[in-house]
Amino acid sequence: MNNDPKAVVDRMFTAFAKGDVDEILNTVSDDTEWIYHGTRVIPPARYAGQEGARKFFEMILNNTEVIHFTPERYIVEGQMVVVLGSEHQRVKRSGRELKQRWVQIYAVEDGLITRMEEFATTEEGQ
């Protein structure tokens, strides 16, 4: 298994694309921290530990249909991976569509994600 920081983030993205939360959790440390700065539609939150990461991903996967999730550019410096990307989701309850541009910043140590911080913008559609 490749423990290169970018490869670790890519494994997490692959698991997310499959909706496989257990596999996502295999890429994060026990004491991981996930910070989402939020938008009007998905509120800001901070999640601690693997159970917090589980809540973060289950909230997304249970409440939205991910139409596309596209990491567009990676910037890697040592153990830090910055990813610029976009996504398109449909809210299951209302049917409304969201289009987001985002920046995600990852810290990776010993082959596991120890921290993720996301800044996103959202455009709501009908």
Please give the residue range of the domain that contains residue 97: 5-124
Q: Which has the higher per-residue pLDDT, 23 or 100?
A: 23
Residue 126 confidence (pLDDT): 44
Please list the residues that pair with 118 across neighbouring strands: 36, 104
pLDDT tens track for 26-83: 999 999 999 999 776 677 899 999 999 999 999 889 988 999 999 999 999 999 999 9
- How many domains in the chain? 1
The 10 Å CB-count burial string (b at 16+, else e) for 100-126 is bebbbebbbeeebbbbbbbebebeeee
Q: What is the CATH number of the domain that holds 35?
A: 3.10.450.50
SS3 126: coil
Token pair in block for residue 69: 């999730």
